[in-house]
Structures are given as structure tokens and as C-alpha cells.
Amino acid sequence: MNDDAQQKKGLTRRNFLKSAGGVAAVAGMAAGGLAAGVREGSAAAGSMPKKWDGTYDVVIIGSGFAGLAAAMEAKNAGASAVVIEKMAVHGGNSIINGGDFCAPGTRLQKEAGVQDSPDLMYNDMMKAGLYLNHPELARTLADQAKDALEWCENYVGAKFTRLNFHGGHSVKRANQTVNASGSELVNKMLAKTRALGVAVQTRTKMERMIADKDGRIVGIEVKTGYRFPDEKSGKTAYIKARKAVILTSGGFSNDVPLRRIEDPRLTEKFESTNQPGATGEALLAACLAGAMDVQMDWIQLGPWTSPDEKGFGNVPLFCERLVGYGPMIDPAKGKRFFKETGNRKERADAIILLGHPVIIMGDSYAVPKQVFPRALEKGLESGAVKKFDSLEALAKNYAMPVEAFKQEIARWNSFVEKKKDSDFDCMIFPDARPTVTPPFYAARLWPKVHHTMGGLVIDTNAQVFGFDLKPLKGLYAAGEVTGGVHGAVRLGGVAMADCVVFGRIAGKNAAKETAWG
């Protein structure tokens, strides 16, 4: 087969994979079929371009936390580097994120008198992950998270000013950025990356990984001037990676055909909190070049999103600050139904099982104290968060049985007094008080697709592994595109740590590779 023909074949196959029509066929392929992809991946080895349009030691795909961390470390280790990004803007999911960075033993924890350790964080991750986490990856993350956070503060210059709690953790360990957004970190990372002399090229989409005859990854095929989501836009170009390619292309929560293959319940009926470009074609391109995927069907739904606003919105910031301070209620019965501080999966599953939206609420002691003022103000403005003068008015608005609801609040309050929930074992914080002070605030909750735990197989060096269970030379990966770190459940605030820890590792190791040409 000549070069062109092989290239075309690769393309056709990818398009086929992506098209909704290919879903059933691909699902059928899943058992033994992926092996065909591997064969084709190695076949693609022959399809080297005649000419490279750009050459760098390290080529990084994706401009979120993981990609930019990798770029800085690669550059600082002496490698030339470039970051490509398919969207018109940089930052991916990282720039729309809530800015919570989990790490044990941090300055903010010490100030708040919180006792924590890497072991405790590791245990929390493993427990939530149903022990499906690749232990050595979880261990690396827990051990290096604090150092990664300090690098973000001291080297990158991002500010973290508040300590938060997330369901499933045994202590408060989420260090939040000053503006409660990942933009604080990612924009400073971008500025630093550029200051180091690394170009970040937007509207450049990776289409294919290029391997040599031994299967080593040597570069990528891209489309420059790409205009998401127009697949006909852009011009083909080839970028040579003398040392390595680092894949940091994020998750696939917004890729309906792919997520339906992995979890058939997740049809287009489920909205997502992610940016529109959170799709899986880059991950699949790596698989076609021989990279192995793992735990792809563990897809996380956020239990704290609202059906009354678009995307992530403001309600998650309202809900997550209130768990452990206020109750979550099933409006059909006017009663609590699940542990508010449970992990994401448990809570989302419990809500989906009820089959209708539920309510999170707090009073005028808890809400002003806990909820970021801007999130509250914006939530109230859009109507996703509502304010009520009395419990009766609240009950009436959600068509709840009033008496049952009031009894339930009294019961909850008695648990808060005792700091022990004998119904669902919700963690009740030391500074929590009974829900009695009007006005009361409430929001409706219905899950949205939030995070894809599965992805490429890596080791603790962020080296990608192939279907032959051996390192796939020349390919590193970090961040949400990888799998195994979180197992079944990614705990809140752990993605930032994941991206920065493994992004840095990937960048350093990629720079150490021996150049192939």
C-alpha cells in the first residue's frame, strides 16, 4: 500500500468510528475488534509525511492544566516545545472549572487546623474509586499533590485562598483559587508558558498520530485553521516530535456517540457540564496508533447540577458548599433520602433512582457563610437558586407535603445538634448549626455528565502503554485523557492535582527522551 492510500484508510476508519452510524459496529468491535485498530495503528507506521511543517522536541496536544504543566516542564528541562489546541480558545475544561485543588498537608489546611496526610488522601481516593484505581498512580498523585500545589503558587503565581470540602473526602482538603475558577491557574500557566517561549497554537486539531516502522510515535498530523465543529475546515499539516508527543486532550463527556458505547444510558438526554470540545477523537487516535485504553465506561455524573440552568452553572457551587450544613430533600416525600456528603457516584445514582430532581437547601446562617457570594447572587438572578421567607413557603414552591417536610427538618436539626446523623451518616461539620434562620435558600438538582475517569493506560512516569502491554515509545499522556488514577469515582478537586502532578511528570520525562531524528 502506498503512503497516500494508507493515510486515507486511517482517515476513513476514524471518521467511521466517530459517526453515530458506526456506534453499533464499534460496540461489536469492542471485544476482539480493537486488535484490528492496533494492526492498523502499526500499519500507519509506513505513512510518514514527505515533509514536516514544523519540528519540536516535544509536541503537546491540549491547552488545559495538564498540557501547560507539561509544556513548562519540558521547556525548563531544555526541550523545544509547542502546544496545539483545536478550539478557538485555550484552556479546555480547565478554564471553566471550579478552582478546587485537593492536596494533603497544605498551608490552608494548617491555618484551619485540619490534620491530613498523603495516606489519608490515598485511602479516600481508593475507597471512592472502589479500589479499581491503579494503586501506584493514586499513590503518586497523593504523594505529589502538595508539591504540585506549591509549584502552582510559587512558580506559576496562582493564588489559593480558601479551604473547601468535597463529598467523599474525610477532611477539608480542596484549596480553592482566589476567583473560584480554574482560570486563575490556567491563565497564569498560559502566560508563563508563553513567557518561556513555548507557542500555544489554537484552532489546530490533532487528527492522527504518526509512528515509524517500529511503532514509535514520531509526530502528528494536524489541521490548522480548524473551526470547531466544522470537520471540513482547516488545512492538513505535519508536526514532527523529535523526542515525544504528550497527549493532554482532556475527557470525552461531550462525545455522545463515544460515551454511549461505554455507558449506553448516557444518551443526548443527559446534558454535560463540559466545554463543547470535550470529545474523544484524540484519545481514539492514540488507540489507533497502538495505545491501550482502560476503564472507559466509568463516566461520572455530577450530582450537584441544576436542570434550571445550562452547563455547570452556579448551583454546584451552592450545593457543594452546603453539604454537611444543610439537608438534601426528595420533594415527593418531603424527606431526606441519601447521605449529603456521599461521593458523586453514590449521590448521582440515588437521584437517578428517584427519577426526578431533588432539593438542596440551607438557611441564612449556612448560606452566607458557605456560598461564594457571586455564585449565590448569579444563582438567584437566573432563578436556579430560590429564596423563601419560611419553610412553608419553600415546601409549597416545590409541591412538598408540608408537615412531613417540617418534621424532617426538625429531625435533621436534632442530628446537627448532636453532630451525628443516625439516618444516613452524613458528615456534619463542627461549625454547622440547625437549619432554622430565615430566609431559606434552595435549588433543584439533576445530574449532568461531568468527568470521564477512563482513558489511556499510563505508568507513574506518564508513559503510555500499548496493547502489547509494553511502553508505547514516544507517547506520554496526562490529565483527564488518562485512565486508572481515579478508578470508579474521581473525587471532587482531585482532577486538578491529577493534571498538574502527571502533566509535570510527562513534561520532564518527554524532555529526557533520546531524539529519533
Partner 1 sequence: MTGKHNIMRLPAAWFIVLGLVFAALLIYVGTPMAAPKQVKSAKPGDCAACHGQEKVFSPSHVDTKAMTYKDCLGCHEKAGPQKLEGKLPGSHIHQLGGITCVKCHESGQKEEEVAMDKCVVCHNADKLAEKTAKVKPENPHTSPHYGTTLDCNLCHHQHKKSENFCAQCHKYDFVVP
Residues annotated as part of the active site: 344
- Using CB under 6 A, which residues numbered 196 to 215 contact ligand FAD? 205-206
Q: Which one of ligand FAD, partner 1, none interacts with residue 205, CB within 5 to 8 A by kind?
A: ligand FAD
What's the burial of 231, exposed, middle or buried (CB within 10 Å: 0-12/13-18/19+)?
Answer: middle
> Which member of 11, 43, 96, 380 binds partner 1 (CB under 8 A)?
96
- 352 makes contact with partner 1 (CB under 8 A): no
What does the CA dihedral 341, 343, 349, 352 come to, rounded to 10 degrees?
Answer: 50
Main-chain phi, psi angles of 69, to 5 degrees: -60, -45
By beta-carbon proximity to partner 1, the closer residue of 298 and 372 is: 372
What are the cell numbers at 163? Answer: 479551604
Q: Report the partner that residue 178 touches, choosing among ligand FAD, partner 1, none (CB closer than 5 to 8 A by kind).
A: none
State the binding string over 360-399 for ligand FAD (x if CB under 6 A, else -).
Answer: ----------------------------------------
C-alpha cell recorded at residue 492: 471532587
- 416/464 with CB nearer ligand FAD: 464
Among positions 51-80, residues that touch ligand FAD (CB under 6 A) are: 61-67
Contact set for partner 1, span 248-287 (CB under 8 A): 275-276
Q: 3-state class of 198 per DSSP?
A: coil
Least spacing, CB of residue 17 vs ligand FAD, in Å: 13
Residues in region 285-324 near partner 1 by CB under 8 A: 309-312
CA distance 272 to 278: 10
Cell 442530628 sits at which residue?
415
Q: In the complex, what is the shortest distance from the CB of residue 133 to partner 1, in angstroms, rounded to a whole number?
A: 30
Of the residues 364, 382, 413, 437, which one makes contact with partner 1 according to CB under 8 A: 382
Gap between the terminal Cα atoms of the chain: 24
Beta bridge partner(s), residue 482: 456
> Nine-digit cell at 293?
485504553
DSSP helix/strand/coil, 121: helix
Burial of 265-288, coded b for 16+ CB within 10 Å and e otherwise, reads ebeeebbbbbbebbbbbbbbbbbb
Whether 260 and 267 have beta carbons less than 8 Å apart is answered as: yes
Per-residue contact track with ligand FAD, 120 to 159, x per CB under 6 A?
----------------------------------------
250 near ligand FAD, judged by CB under 6 A? yes
63 binds partner 1 (CB under 8 A): no
Nearer to partner 1, 146 or 188 (CB): 188
